[in-house]
Structure 1
Amino acid sequence: MLRESEFNGVRSIALYCRVSTDEQAREGVSLDEQQERLKAYCRAMGWNHEIELFIDDGYSAKNTERPQLRKLLNSVKIGQISKVMVTKLDRMSRKLLDLLNLIDLFQEHEVSFISISESFDTNTPSGRLTLQVLGAVAEFERERIRERVFDNMLHAASNGKWLTQSPYGYQLVEKNLVINESEAAIVRRIFNSYLHEGKGYFAIAKQLNEENIPSRFNKEWSLRSIKLLLSNPVYKGTLVWNRVNSSKKKRQEKEEEEWVIVDDCLPTIIDKETWEAVQNRLNKKQIPSRAQSSPHLLGGLLKCGNCGGGMSISWSGSKNNRYRVYRCSNNKNKGTCTSKQFKADEVEAWFKQGLLQLTKNFSSEILLKLSEQTTDNRNINNEQKIRSAKARYNRKVEAYTAGLIELNDLTEEKQRMDQIIEALQSEEKHQEIDLEKVQKSIESKIGNVVNTIDTLPIEDAKALISTLVEKVVIKGEKEIEIKLSIF
Structure 2
Amino acid sequence: MELKYVTYVRVSTKEQGKSGLGLDAQRRDIKLFLDNYTDKPYQITAEHIEVHSGTDNTRPELSKAICTAKERKAILLIAKLDRLSRKVSFIAGLMDDENLSLQVAQMPNADKFQLHIYAALAEQERDFISKRTIAALKEAKLRGVKLGGLRDKTNERNKAKRVQADHFAARMWRTLEPMQQQGLSLSDIANRFNEIGITTVTGKQFQPQTIKNIIRRCSKS
Q: Which category describes the TM-score, using the shorter chain as reference length?
A: 0.3 to 0.5
Which of the two has greater helix per residue?
A: 2
Which of the two has greater strand per residue?
A: 1
Flag the structure with more relative contact order, 1 or 2, with Cα contacts below 8 A and sequence separation at least 6: 2
- Larger Rg belongs to: 1
